[in-house]
Amino acid sequence: MKLALSLPSTRWFVVHDDAWFRVVDPAVVDLLVSVLALESVDEYDLVEQPHQRGTVSATLDESAEPATVRFVFSESDGTELEPVDLPLDVRLLAHVEWLDQRFRDGWAPADLRLRLEGMDRMALRVYLPPVPGSSDKNLVIERLGDGQRTEVRLARDATTDIALVDGPFTGTRTFRLRCDPETISGSTDTRQLGFVVVDELVEAA
């Protein structure tokens, strides 16, 4: 679950179960910003329009142990879904912001940037599909700001853990990940696809 700010319309959404739910009460935005990872999305840069399913409201229960934020999601026809309770935890301080959007089918672009904050360790678990005549490909990882650069081998038909953070740090870190785009025989897909993101492995600070 994360909070998305859609620009330039300045509309707020909670992204949950691969769908976007619009925040109807501006008064809860400050609460949501404090407990959810925030992602800014430029509507004109989206390759695919997100699935806008309905609306969401949120309330904070400080009497619970630990304190809990309750999310009530509603379908577009007003039907309420099962409430979702989010216990407040130090892990919520860990923030992964994809500056270049992943695609809804799990693929990440061949050239992407992401910003990290509030974590001691972080790795991406990725998958590279099999391709005849190729056993792997290289991924270049650059830490923007100080120019630190490493290369990782991505094996085909296997998952690879790409370590980005291996110790505590202050502030934010921004990374650029680049690799050759995939060649999909017989496909009309024009996207520059890099790899499939399976999971984000995060250990909060």
Band of residue 184 on the pLDDT scale cut at 50, 70, 90: confident
Band of residue 84 on the pLDDT scale cut at 50, 70, 90: very high
**Which value, to the nearest 10 degrees, does the dihedral of the CA atoms of residues 42, 47, 51, 56 take?**
-20
Checking if the pLDDT of 205 tops 70, the result is no
**E strand or H helix at 35, and its extent?**
helix 29-35
Round to whole Å and give the CA distance between 182 and 99.
Answer: 21
Q: Which residue ranges make up each domain of the chain?
A: 2-88, 95-204
Neighbours of 123 (CB within 10 A): 17
Q: Which of 8-22, 143-157, 165-179, 183-197 is predicted with the least confidence, judged by mean pLDDT?
A: 183-197
- What CATH number does the domain located at 95-204 have? 2.60.120
Rounded alpha-carbon distances, angstroms, from residue 65 to 61, 68, 69, 71, 82: 9, 8, 11, 17, 21
Q: Which of 1-15, 36-50, 57-71, 84-98 is predicted with the least confidence, judged by mean pLDDT?
A: 84-98
Round to whole Å and give the CA distance between 161 and 27.
Answer: 40
Pairing of strands 52-61, 19-23: parallel
Structure token digits, residue 192 = 């520059």
In which order are the strands placed within the sheet that holds 136-144?
A: 95-98, 111-117, 172-179, 136-144, 148-155
The per-residue pLDDT for 17 is 86
Amino acid residing at 171? G
Band of residue 89 on the pLDDT scale cut at 50, 70, 90: low
94 or 75, higher pLDDT: 75
Instruction: Give me Rg for the CA atoms of the chain.
Output: 19
Percent of the chain with pLDDT over 70: 95
pTM of the model: 0.57
Q: With b meaning 16 or more CB within 10 Å and e meaning fewer, what string describes 128-153?
A: beeeeeeeebebebbeeeeeeeeebe
Closest CA to 99 of 91, 90, 87, 111: 111
Q: Which of 67-76, 155-164, 183-192 is predicted with the least confidence, judged by mean pLDDT?
A: 183-192
| Range among 22-26, 37-41, 124-128, 190-194 with highest mean pLDDT value | 124-128
| Beta strand spans in the chain (E) | 2-7, 11-16, 19-23, 38-42, 52-61, 68-75, 84-87, 95-98, 107-109, 111-117, 119-128, 136-144, 148-155, 158-165, 172-179, 193-204
